[in-house]
Amino acid sequence: MNYPKTRLRRLRYNRNIRNMFEDITVNKSDLIQPIFLVEGKNIKKEIKSLTGQFQLSIDNAIDFCKSLMNEGVNSIILFGVSSEKDDTGEISCSSQSIVPKAIKEIKNKFGDQLLVIADVCNCSYTNHGHCGTIVENDVDNDLTLETLSKQSLTLAKAGADVLAPSDMMDGRVQSIRNKLDSSGFEKTPIFPYSVKYASAFYGPFRDAVGSGPKKGDRKTYQMSFKNSNEYLREVEQDLNEGADAIIIKPALAYLDIVNEVRRNFDVPIIAYNVSGEYSMIKSSAEKGQINEKDVLMETIHCMKRAGANAIITYFAYDIAKNLNSKNV
């Protein structure tokens, strides 16, 4: 025991000395705001389970992008809400589908000022709500790869800066990479959700895009949270297939995984602070049980401390505003 000679509190006694040694920072460039897109004009419909988040028509999405950029958030990830659905999600491969249409307009408007990431998945476009084509009561891996690569090419052609496949099919990075490379898009990066657990924290998101599976669950393709090592193989496989950066989700209850990936692989990591994590903070703050801003800034710093380089979060706009105000 070195006490009383060693007193760790000496480095905490005032703000300047604390600031000197704090080494975890959240930058506005770390933040990625999700946007939910719907057909129509001047639509801004609040999502019940995601207070403060909206389904937006393209014109309103463009306005939201302007507000984000004004606060210094220059990255978004797009999700389509589709009223039209089919068996395989093939409708998502048309250039007239909502997300490619939006990407075209957004890129026309903002060019390289705004990084546009497109989520790649079929669940918003299938009538059964699963992430791929169903054969004999299960999602068929290899048939789904075909739709995913076609959808990716459509999104790349529309101008997406990055593709983020979230389906959890085996081999999708390679299959999308091949499709892009053979069509002249060898420069377009792929950020797969390499580590994606079958999580109840996605509940509000499924409300937002109407993508909950009508029957069954996603456990035959998303990972089990009771499994401690599988994520290492998932990351390794995606890197071997050509992933440029990886997404891990959910974030908060899974920061051990973020940290282990940081220690085991030299790859940029994006943590996805998912819908249920957002809603938990929102609801308890609304009830006056916690201070929203403080809890939010704390959790986001913890994600950085665990090893995330960037964070997808419905709070991106709010965090940037907080960072811009003097009292944070």
Residue ranges binding ligand PBG (CB under 6 A) = 119, 121, 123, 131, 166, 202, 205-206, 274-275
- Residue 59 or 216: the one with the smaller Cβ distance to ligand PBG is 216
Q: Please, what is the minimum distance in Å from the beta carbon of residue 290 to ligand PBG?
A: 20
Q: Are 183 and 256 in contact (CB under 8 A)?
A: no
Q: Which of 196, 293, 304, 321 is catalytic?
A: 196
66 catalytic? Reply is no
Phi, psi of 77 (to 5 degrees): -125, 135
157 catalytic? Reply is no
- Residue 68 or 169: the one with the smaller Cβ distance to ligand PBG is 169
Cα dihedral 308→310→315→318 (10° resolution): 120
- Residue 185 or 205: the one with the smaller Cβ distance to ligand PBG is 205
Determine the number of helices (DSSP H) and then strands (DSSP E) in the chain: 11, 12
Q: Please, what is the minimum distance in Å from the beta carbon of residue 167 to ligand PBG?
A: 6
What H or E segment, with its residue span, contains residue 318? helix 316-324
- Residue 202 or 317: the one with the smaller Cβ distance to ligand PBG is 202
**Strand 269-273 relative to strand 310-313, pairing:** parallel
Q: Please, what is the minimum distance in Å from the beta carbon of residue 202 to ligand PBG?
A: 4
Q: Please, what is the minimum distance in Å from the beta carbon of residue 275 to ligand PBG?
A: 3
Q: What's the full length of the chain, in residues?
A: 328
Which are the contacts of 9, defined by CB distance < 8 A and separation ≥ 6?
A: none
Q: Which of 41, 48, 109, 249 is catalytic?
A: 249
Which are the contacts of 120, defined by CB distance < 8 A and separation ≥ 6?
A: 148, 151, 152, 155, 163, 164, 165, 166, 167, 176
Catalytic positions:
196, 249
